[in-house]
Structure 1
Amino acid sequence: MTLFDQFSISYLLGTPLIIPALLTPILLLMSTKRLMPNRIHSLIIWSVKTAAKQILTPLNHMGQTWTKLLMTLLILLIMMNTMGLFPYTFTPTTQLSMNISLALPLWLATVLKGLKLHPNMAMAHLVPEGAPALLIPALITIETISLFIRPVALAVRLTANLTAGHLLIHLISTATAVLVQTLPALSIFTLTLLFLLTALEIAVAMIQAYVFTLLLSLYLEENT
């Protein structure tokens, strides 16, 4: 395998393994008919409620109508970010096109929401209050560019963090496999480092999903 083969879809008998990889977490998360929820179900509900409280508290009533959408996005990103750590799968969110397709429509929806509810306030954000008249054209250009760069920044941040972590895991695992035959003592150290890095990558996958959703909620707060 080359360094970037981990970012391509694996096939088994002509069937892409990404399909069962995507369906398995959804089936595991589906609640069953029980009189009392089990521990896993209770942990998931508690985690979602805690994340929703942290993300949606600054929003007003109009913004909190997006709760289901933002929480669904958070759970979807966590599943896709962590899925690439399993064998014979790859992380869909390491693809920039995938992240752009998530960030662009959601960012555009927040902007259109602001233009619909508060058109004057949305346009006023392009010019800071008290700005000199000579600087107004330059300020409008800069603020417009910063506005349109937001979905690109969301997508690039998610792609870069996940890609860097996966590449680092691949390099250390390759070094461990080579050192087992030549320097077994050193290979124990690299193997320990690999386990620690894997745990860190799981945390990074969850944090990046949280950051992606949090930034969208902040954009929504500005426009509601």
Structure 2
Amino acid sequence: MAPNFFDQFSSPTHFGVPLIMIALTFPWILYPTPSNRWLENRLVTLQNWFINRFTQQLLLPLNPEGHKWALMLSSLMIFLISLNLLGLLPYTFTPTTQLSLNLGLAVPFWLATVLIGMRNRPTAALAHLLPEGTPPLLIPILIMIETVSLFIRPLALGVRLTANLTAGHLLIQLIATATAVLLPMTVTLATLTMTVLFLLTLLEIAVAMIQAFVFILLLSLYLQENI
């Protein structure tokens, strides 16, 4: 049993090699590479169907200029889902529970959308800082508020993903510890906590996929405002 529940969120090392490096590169080898055969296997067909459906739903509100981001956003979506789901396996490490990694993904993408808006549509990009019809006395205050909210966006992206995954892992750790403690004492309560643990694991699987989708969806909304 770990002496501290938060030890599961520290990056472990093996022979001096940080395991976060393996965790970040491992998802890419799980997906089959499409071949030139006429008929694909079931796994590749399912993978292509999922990526096509996700890309269609994601790019539906965007104009054709935003479709250039399809490959990048789809790849990031698959990458985040893989990291989140692999982190639920026993004796693994979840890189997306680290705020530094999530901010490292959120800040560059958010900054890219802002720079695209300032380059292509500077007037429209700056107009988001001041709603139309604002009274003159409120103009300085609203500009400061909107500017702060603009710079908080990448922080909110990273904190949202980190907090949801961290909370889920902590709950699973707590209930698993309670199950191990109650099992020698009373089988009834241990069975009840084990059932709760199973249901919570299913919920965490859904949360892992939903949070990856929300991360990409918010990036697409930020992109939509600037193109």
Quickly name the TM-score band, shorter chain normalised: over 0.9
For 1:93, the aligned partner's letter is T
CA RMSD, 1 decimal: 1.5
* 1:127–1:17 CA distance, 2 compared to 1 (3 A): closer
Q: Match for residue 197 of structure 1? A: 200
Give the whole-Å Cα distance in 2 for the aligned partners of 1:18 and 1:109.
26
Q: Give CA-to-partner distance per residue, 1:64-83, whole Å, 9 cap, x none.
A: 11101110110111111112
Q: Find 1:10's aligned residue among 6, 9, 12.
A: 12
Q: Find 1:31's aligned residue among 17, 30, 33.
A: 33
User: Shift of the alpha carbon at 1:10?
Assistant: 3.5
Q: Find 1:55's aligned residue among 58, 69, 72.
A: 58
User: Shift of the alpha carbon at 1:178?
Assistant: 0.5
Greater than 6 Å deviation, 4+ residue runs: none
Deviates more, 1:113-122 or 1:10-19: 10-19
User: Shift of the alpha carbon at 1:88?
Assistant: 2.0
Aligned residues between the structures: 224
Q: Is the 8 A contact 1:9 1:89 kept in 2?
A: no
Asked if 1:40 is matched to 2:40, the reply is no
Deviates more, 1:127-136 or 1:169-178: 127-136
Q: Match for residue 154 of structure 2? A: 151
Asked if 1:92 is matched to 2:99, the reply is no
Give the whole-Å Cα distance in 1 for the aligned partners of 2:93 and 2:66.
34
Unaligned runs of 5+ in 2: none
Asked if 1:115 is matched to 2:95, the reply is no
For 2:144, the aligned partner's letter is T
Q: Is the 8 A contact 2:23 2:95 kept in 1?
A: no
User: Shift of the alpha carbon at 1:57?
Assistant: 0.6
Q: Match for residue 172 of structure 1? A: 175
Give the whole-Å Cα distance in 2 for the aligned partners of 1:54 and 1:193.
34
* 1:140–1:29 CA distance, 2 compared to 1 (3 A): same
Asked if 1:132 is matched to 2:149, the reply is no
For 2:194, the aligned partner's letter is L
Secondary structure class of the residue paired with 2:74: helix
